[in-house]
């Protein structure tokens, strides 16, 4: 039997998140003030954001973002919230261009499934994508995300883009040089997808 | 330049988490009321918890935990907070036995690096482990975690353990049947470790 929510209190809200203190009653136990962090805007299935790994000429785009809660920089795929009414695939391509200046055609966007960053605290689910065969868009200004009122707004902590080859990305993921959960899952699923794709499209010459 | 913290306000606290609203000032921009969720107990390097993938006779232990924020069950590795002054490896073996009844010797615990579940909001880092060659402990009562006062306390939402073979775990991770971030990263790194180990310890018979 899942626990029953007996009371909910909003303890904080900003433009992105709401925090609740929930009282729960389960089989033979109860919890008071369980913290739940919930995005203000979420689509069906609690889908909140997208994370997209851009690939250009066999190299992979990572940003070195400063994350205030961690007090340090973190190697990450492009990530962003989905705008209200926006298709997740469109959000992934939009965020990719806004944050890196790379453009990916809709036919080159590979869905890599979903994940929940921290189901014990966050009511949020992300969708992952691999963006293949990206090209730089000379008109785009990386790091400048248009604000709600149309004015440009520099995102706090957003770092510059670096392109890494496959072996380097794999090594950085395996030795915890990359620690960001969304980025690690995206990389591991992208590597598995690329290996499958490569096997299926390469003629077998071993026998 | 990383953004500067100009003001911090505690907006919520329970026994596990503290939530803060931070004002930040960065290069040419500022943010008011940035939400930071921080564990009450964290070790050096913001290490908060462990996640451990138990392996017994080539099968892997996953729990089907109910996660209140998600409103559904989630396939997960054993996870837990590190007690004050406790070694992360000891915490991993303790949590494994508490939640699954499986026992793993210290020599069979393989460290699989670190990850940050959600660096944009959470000041937390987890350590991952593979626990090889586990054996059931007939004295242990899975699901019964001793409380601070020595009394048994059933953890809310904690599900029963199921053992899956390697191929099934790999398929569940790739098709998003497993969505939990810590669990996915743990599985992908464990699979990579096991494949390397297997290659290194198996005589090459192909030539």
Question: How many domains is chain A partitioned into structurally?
Answer: 2
Q: Are A56 and A35 found together in one domain? A: no
Q: Are B87 and B189 found together in one domain? A: yes
CA count, 13 A, side-chain hemisphere, A64? 11
Q: What tens digit of pLDDT does each residue of A140-158 get?
A: 555 544 433 333 345 667 8
| Token duo for residue B111 | 């460290």
Residue B207 lies in a domain: no
CA distance A133 to A141: 19
Residue A115 lies in a domain: yes
Residue span of the structural domain in which A29 resides: 4-39
Q: Are B25 and B80 found together in one domain? A: no
Residue A207 lies in a domain: no
Region B127-139 average pLDDT:
91
Output the pTM of the full model: 0.91
Residue A206 lies in a domain: no
Q: Are A76 and A61 found together in one domain? A: yes
Q: What tens digit of pLDDT does each residue of A32-75 get?
A: 999 999 999 888 999 999 999 999 999 999 999 999 999 999 99
Q: Are B86 and B114 found together in one domain? A: yes
pLDDT-derived band at B142, boundaries 50, 70, 90: low
> Which pLDDT value is given to residue A148?
39
Q: Are B8 and B90 found together in one domain? A: no
Q: Are B35 and B103 found together in one domain? A: no
CB-based contact A68 B28, cutoff 8 Å: no
CA distance B64 to B76: 6
CATH of the domain at B114: 3.90.79.10
Q: Which residues from A are below 8 Å from B63, CB to CB?
A: none
CA distance B155 to B159: 9
Helix (H) or strand (E) holding A114: strand A109-115
Q: Are B112 and B152 found together in one domain? A: yes
**B6: which residues sit within 8 A by CB, 6+ positions away?**
B23, B24, B25, B30
Dihedral of CA B191/B110/B73/A113: which sign?
negative
Q: Are B34 and B64 found together in one domain? A: no
β-bridge pairing B47-56 and B125-131:
parallel
Q: Are A111 and A181 found together in one domain? A: yes
Q: Are A185 and A103 found together in one domain? A: yes
Residue A79 lies in a domain: yes
- Cβ proximity of A26 and A34 under 8 Å: no
- Mean pLDDT of chain B, nearest integer: 89
Q: Are B81 and B176 found together in one domain? A: yes
ipTM: 0.90
Residue B130 lies in a domain: yes
CB-based contact A156 B19, cutoff 8 Å: no
Choosing among A17, A47, A116, A145, which should be mutated to test the B contact, i.e. which has the most B CBs within 10 A?
A: A116
């Amino acid at each position: 039997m899942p626990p029953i929510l007996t009371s909910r209190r909003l303890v904080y809200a900003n433009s992105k998140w709401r925090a609740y203190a929930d009282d729960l009653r389960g089989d033979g136990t109860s919890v008071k003030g369980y913290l739940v962090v919930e995005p203000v805007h979420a689509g069906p299935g609690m889908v909140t954001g997208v994370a997209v790994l851009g690939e250009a000429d066999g190299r992979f785009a990572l940003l070195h973002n400063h994350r205030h809660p961690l007090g340090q920089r973190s190697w990450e795929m492009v990530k962003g919230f989905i705008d209200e009414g926006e298709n997740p695939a469109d959000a992934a391509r939009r965020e990719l261009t806004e944050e890196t200046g790379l453009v990916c055609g809709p036919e080159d966007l590979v869905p890599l499934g979903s994940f929940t960053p921290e189901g014990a605290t966050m009511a949020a689910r992300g969708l992952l994508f691999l963006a293949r065969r990206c090209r730089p868009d000379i008109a785009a200004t990386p790091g400048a995300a248009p604000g709600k009122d149309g004015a440009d707004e520099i995102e706090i902590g957003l770092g510059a883009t670096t392109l890494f080859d496959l072996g380097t990305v794999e090594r950085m993921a395996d030795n915890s040089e990359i620690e960001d959960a969304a980025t690690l899952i995206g990389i591991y699923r992208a590597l598995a997808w690329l290996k499958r794709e490569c096997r299926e499209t390469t003629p077998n010459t071993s026998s």
